[in-house]
Amino acid sequence: MDDLPTFDGRLSARPDDLSLGSLAIRSRVFLAPLSGITDVPFRRLVRSFGTEVVYSEMVASGELIRNDAESRQRAGADGLGLHAVQLAGREAVAMRRAAEIVAAEGADVIDINMGCPAKKVVGGLSGSALMRDLDQALRLIEATVAGAGSVPVTLKMRLGWDRSSLNAPDLAVRAEGAGIRLVTVHGRTRDQFYEGAADWAAIAAVSRAVSIPVVANGDLQSVADLATMLQASEADAAMIGRGACGRPWFPALVGGHLDRDRMRQSFGDLVVAHYDSMLEFYGQQAGLRQARKHLGWYLDRWEAATGSRLAGDRAELMRAADPALVRARLRSLLGAATLSDVEPDLSTSLRQAA
């Protein structure tokens, strides 16, 4: 593996660094906020590969201001770099107070969630439900900006509620006027959830409507996708969400910041280290629950690289309550494979050898 694939060319016609208040952001590929996924252990792992902008899980503002322990844990810093916290809510007072709390506790960036399509979130009139009420969305933006003080506030949204109401450009313009410093647009409507393909070209309407940086999100799955996404969306940067699941090195690989020597690391060692970090962070019982989804994604990555199927082994690992057994089984299954062996943009050997 002498050469890593990279995007050849500038990511935007705008200056090399994105400015967020006093922050100069060097990287143009971010890790998205993902509920139940971008916790402190995962953020630390992704950041260790060189990704600069890494968002927390969504934090419910109402729960945070009530000092809910899990919400405070989600909002916590990973201690390794820029601290970006995503807030969600439907009440302006709660959003302002939550912004005050995370700003006081050291957040470098505060993001507002107006893109989550989950029924529980939308049913609470937050997330992408706010794209049906731009006046209320604006009130929440103004409150969050006021509470954040000097901390820059960003906004994540979808194209609109459905194809008949693609109002992301209108929301972005209002958001910029209210003090938002950057907007991220997922290239689907709420009605689509994650079905169909992300419409990168539709994001371009937002890029043309505002002067602040625009970040494109949705379906970035390979290094080659980056150039196509940015050209179609006319965006300044890209955000990777589900594409990083089981693939924590991927944002750095796409962004061109990955140390090639790191890809020679044992895949099994990485998986075991991530597993152990979750047990340490959450405690054994909760850590085992949190780890299962990540182990599933790592096994998916292994199956895709080798063409093998691990149904029985997967079931055993999902049920196992003994960390020592899990570690031993993972090392046995994953063998001597390196990260480059299981990365689709790099791997050639495992399937041939299987």
What are the beta bridge partners of residue 59? 87
CA dihedral 196, 201, 203, 205 (to 10 degrees): -140
DSSP letter assigned to residue 56: E
**Running DSSP on this structure, what letter comes out for residue 257?**
-
CA distance 167 to 182: 17
C-alpha span between 168 and 233 (Å, rounded): 13
The torsion region of residue 347 among left (phi > 0), alpha (psi -120 to 50) and beta comes to beta
Element holding 30 (H helix, E strand): strand 29-31
Give me the catalytic one of 58, 85, 116, 166.
116
User: Is 245 annotated in the active site?
Assistant: no
Helix, strand, or coil (residue 278): helix
Give the CA angle between residues 210, 113, 70 to the nearest 5°: 150
The candidate with the shortest Cα–Cα distance to 250, out of 10, 2, 6, is 6
Residues belonging to the active site: 116
